[in-house]
């Protein structure tokens, strides 16, 4: 998919910003966005803001039967929802390429990179395991989306407490 071509004024502005070592939003090239992390009153909720980008995350859990190939490991699912108000290019009900990429990155982070110990989610091998669901809501997308969503998901996971159960 190709973006719309730049006007001459936009092109000149971008080239001027590059020559002056300044980003389009006025920050220097080595300057980070301000990052604000807020954990919710309920366990497993977070809100992260980086510049004008806002992402919330919420973690929940259920007891389910494990996959037959991984009977002693729990399950982590990541769901991303992009608000139509958060980005003018987003269509309601569809993730689009950015949303799909973000979901894959967050799944890799939460499930495959060891952010969650999947074996610790096992209650009874091959019978019952915890299923952790991470819901990430993009409230406003204005750059640094993967960074902001990653911090929101990891913060919500770190703040989450699963219920105590007896087997």
HEC assignment per residue over the chain: CCCCCCCHHHHHHHHHHHHCCECCCCCECCCCCCEEEEECCCCCEEEEEECCEEEEEEEEEEEECCCCCCCCCCEEEEEEEECCCCCCCCCCCCCHHHHHHHHHHHHHHHHHCCCCCHHHHEEECCCEEEEEEEEEEEEECCCCHHHHHHHHHHHHHHHCCCCCCCC
In the chain, CATH 3.30.230.70 covers 33-159
Q: What is the mean pLDDT of the chain?
A: 87
pLDDT at 24 over 50: yes
- In 3D, which of 36, 41, 46, 42 has the Cα closest to residue 152? 46
Confidence class for position 1, pLDDT limits 50, 70, 90: very low
The structure's pTM equals 0.80
pLDDT at 162 over 70: yes
Angle at 38 between CA 34 and CA 43, to 5 degrees: 155
Q: What mean pLDDT is predicted for residues 148-158? A: 95
pLDDT at residue 16 in the model: 86
Tens of pLDDT along 89-133? 656 667 778 888 999 999 988 887 778 888 999 999 999 999 999
Domain 33-159 grouped into CATH 1.10.1740.10: no
Q: Which of 22-26, 63-67, 142-146 has the lowest mean pLDDT?
A: 22-26
């Amino acid at each position: 998919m190709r973006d719309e071509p730049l006007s001459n004024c936009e092109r000149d502005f971008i080239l001027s910003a590059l020559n002056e070592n300044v980003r389009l939003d006025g920050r220097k090239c080595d300057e980070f966005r301000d990052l604000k992390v807020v954990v919710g009153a309920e366990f497993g909720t977070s809100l992260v803001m980086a510049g004008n980008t806002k992402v919330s995350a919420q973690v929940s859990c259920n007891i389910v039967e494990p996959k037959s190939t991984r009977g002693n490991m729990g399950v982590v699912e990541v769901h991303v929802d992009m608000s139509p108000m958060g980005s003018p290019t987003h269509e309601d009900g569809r993730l689009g390429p950015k949303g799909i990429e973000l979901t894959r990155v967050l799944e890799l982070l939460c499930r495959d990179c060891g952010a969650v110990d999947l074996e610790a989610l096992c209650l009874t091998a091959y019978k019952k395991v915890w299923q952790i669901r991470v819901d990430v809501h993009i409230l406003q997308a204005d750059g640094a989306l993967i960074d902001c969503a990653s911090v929101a998901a990891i913060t919500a996971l770190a703040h989450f407490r699963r219920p105590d159960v007896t087997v």
